[in-house]
Amino acid sequence: EAQVTQNPRYLITVTGKKLTVTCSQNMNHEYMSWYRQDPGLGLRQIYYSMNVEVTDKGDVPEGYKVSRKEKRNFPLILESPSPNQTSLYFCASSFPGGRSTDTQYFGPGTRLTVL
Amino acid sequence: AQSVTQLDSHVSVSEGTPVLLRCNYSSSYSPSLFWYVQHPNKGLQLLLKYTSAATLVKGINGFEAEFKKSETSFHLTKPSAHMSDAAEYFCVVSEWSPAMRFGAGTRLTVKP
């Protein structure tokens, strides 16, 4: 089954404790992205990747890191989480479409609480 | 720079009546536009997308949207609401892949 998976689905942590949220897709997509969803703000793009070793900042990259060492995986790293990073996080993947954007497939989401 | 504004944060309709969710966008180019739906405690599902072909786009579950360049709008409509349509809807603009900008969302309530 074609899908984007995220782990963990739920995470409660404390300020300053490094964490990684994994994202994996089995559709051989070149493009992958991370978003955070906050009430009243919709989804905001954190980082995106256009291929292995090619990443770029989205609209809200501060406090986050990403890496793309393999095509299928795109982990999100919070080196020193803070309470304002409490949010619902989504990973997404798609084929490249140039100016004509292809459909993004979203993972199920990771609910992160930072105390 | 691209941006998108969803004009209503909350829309309430009765079952069987039409649905209109409004979206305006701003872009320096000819963007792609999308509508996504998120049911409670669920992920996001693509309803429809406009990518410079026909200006009237038909999506899943009876939804459609019309791209109006002169008005920079991409409103989502459905002739007859169903209880299962209750969800949050997001309008999305993208000038180039994979950079995407989401609107703040419109919560649709359907009354019996």
Q: Is the pLDDT of residue A99 over 80?
A: no
How far, in Å, CA of A105 to CA of A4, rounded?
A: 7
Phi, psi dihedrals of residue A84, rounded to the nearest 5°: -75, 0
Cα B14 from chain centre: 19
Query: What band does A100 get if pLDDT is binned at 50, 70 and 90?
Result: very low
Instruction: Please provide the average confidence, as pLDDT, over all residues in chain A.
Output: 92
Distance CA A110, CA A49 (A): 19
pLDDT digits (tens, 9 = 90+) for A27-58: 889 999 999 999 989 999 999 999 999 999 99
Over residues B16-52, the pLDDT tens digits come to 999 999 999 998 888 889 999 999 888 899 999 997 7
Q: In this predicted model, what pLDDT tens digit does every residue of B66-76 receive, in sequence order?
A: 999 999 999 99
Amino acid B42: pLDDT:
83
Structure tokens at A77: 């790293």
Distance of alpha carbon A68 from alpha carbon A108, whole angstroms: 20
d(CA B19, CA B38): 16
- Per residue in A56-76, pLDDT (tens digit) is 999 999 999 999 999 999 999
Q: Check A43 against B90: CB less than 8 A apart.
A: yes
CA–CA gap between residue B35 and residue B89 (Å, rounded): 7
Cβ–Cβ gap B90/A59 under 8 Å: no
| Chain A residues inside the 8 Å CB shell of B46 | 103-104
Paired sense of beta strands B10-14 and B106-111, if any = parallel
Six-digit token pair at B74? 């991409």
Q: Is B54 on the interface with A (CB under 8 A)?
A: no
Tokens of A62: 């501060």
**Structure tokens, B2:** 């691209």
Q: Which residue has 């429809």 as its token pair?
A: B48
* Residue carrying structure tokens 């002169």: B70
Give me B86's structure tokens. Answer: 């209750």
Those of residues 58-97 in A touching chain B at CB distance below 8 A are: 58-59, 90, 92, 94, 96-97
A103, amino acid identity: T
Residues of chain A with Cβ-Cβ distance to B103 below 8 Å are 42
pLDDT above 60: residue A101? no
Task: Show Cβ contacts of residue B54 under 8 Å, excluding neighbours closer than 6 positions.
Answer: none
* CB within 8 Å: B90 and A42: yes
Full DSSP string of B4-18: EEES-SEEEEETTS-
Task: Decide if B97 and A43 are in contact by the 8 Å CB cutoff.
Answer: no
Interface test with A, best of B97, B101, B106, B107 (most A CBs within 10 A): B97
